Structure 1
Amino acid sequence: MSALTLTLDPVVQVSKEQFYQICANNPDLRLERNANGELVIMSPTGSETSSWNSDLTTDLNIWNRQNLTGKVFDSSGGFSLPNGADRSPDAAWIPIEKWNAFTPEQRKKFLPICPDFALELLSPSDSWLKGQLKMQEYMDNGCRLGWLIDPENKRVAIYRIGQPVEIIEAPSNLSGEDVLQGFILNLKNIWSS
Structure 2
Amino acid sequence: MATATRTESTIEPPDDIRPGVIPEERDPIVPPTGDGFYEVVDGVVVEVPPMGSFEADIANLIAYSMNEHARPRRLGRAFVGVLFRIDVGREIRRQPAVAFVSAARLPAGKRAPKASSWQVVPDLAVEIVSPSDQAAHLNRKIADYFQAGTIAVWVIYQETRQVYAYSSPVDVRILTPPADLDGGAVLPGFRLPIARLFEDDPDPSPSPSPSPSPAGS
TM-score above 0.5: yes
Q: Is the aligned partner of 1:122 residue 2:129?
A: yes
Displacement, 1:138? Answer: 0.4
The answer to whether the 8 Å contact 1:128/1:150 transfers is no
Give 1:129 shift: 4.2
Deviates further, 147-156 or 94-103: 94-103
CA shift for structure 1 position 61: 1.7
1:22 paired residue number: 31
User: What is the CA distance between 1:69 and its match in structure 2?
Assistant: 1.4
The residue aligned with 1:69 is 75
**Correspondence for 1:134:** 141
CA displacement at 1:182 relative to structure 2: 1.0
Tell me the distance in 2 between the aligned counterparts of 1:163 and 1:99: 28
Q: Paired residue for 2:206?
A: none
User: Structure 2 matches for 1:15-164, cutoff 5 A?
Assistant: 17-19=27-29, 21-22=30-31, 26=34, 28-34=35-41, 36-75=42-81, 77-82=82-87, 83-100=90-107, 107-109=113-115, 110-161=117-168, 164=171
Checking the alignment, whether the CA contact within 8 Å between 1:155 and 1:171 is kept in structure 2 is no
Q: Which runs of 5+ in 1 are unaligned?
A: 1-14
TM-score with structure 2 length normalisation? 0.69
Q: Calculate percent identity across the aligned residue pairs.
A: 25
Change (3 A) 1:45 1:107: closer
Match of 1:124, SS state, is coil
**Aligned residue type for 1:58:** Y
Q: Cα RMSD over matched residues?
A: 2.7
Query: Following the alignment from structure 2 to structure 1, what is the Cα–Cα distance between the partners of residues 171 and 162?
Result: 16
Aligned equivalents of 1:132, 1:171: Cα separation in 2: 26
1:162 to partner: Cα distance: 8.1
Residue 47 of structure 1 aligns with an amino acid whose one-letter code is S
* Structure 2 gap segments, 5+ residues each: 1-24, 201-217
Report if aligned partners of 2:61, 2:197 keep a CA contact under 8 Å in 1: no
Length, aligned pairs only:
173
**1:102-135, CA deviations, whole angstroms, 9 ceiling, x for partnerless residues?**
988x833323232111111112332344323212
Largest Rg, 1 or 2: 2
TM-score scaled to structure 1, two decimals?
Answer: 0.76
- Return closer, same or farther for 1:102/1:85 CA change in 2, 3 Å cut-off: farther
2:212 is aligned to: none
Q: Deviations over 1:56-100 (max 9, x none)?
A: 12111211222221122211x121112420111111112223211
Cα gap change, 1:162 to 1:136, in 2 (>3 Å): closer
Q: Distance between the aligned counterparts of 1:102 and 1:37, measured in 2?
A: 31
Contact kept? 1:135, 1:148, Cα under 8 Å: no
Q: Tell me, in whole angstroms, the C-alpha distance in 1 between the residues paired with 2:130 and 2:169.
A: 28
Report how far residue 18 of structure 1 moved.
4.5
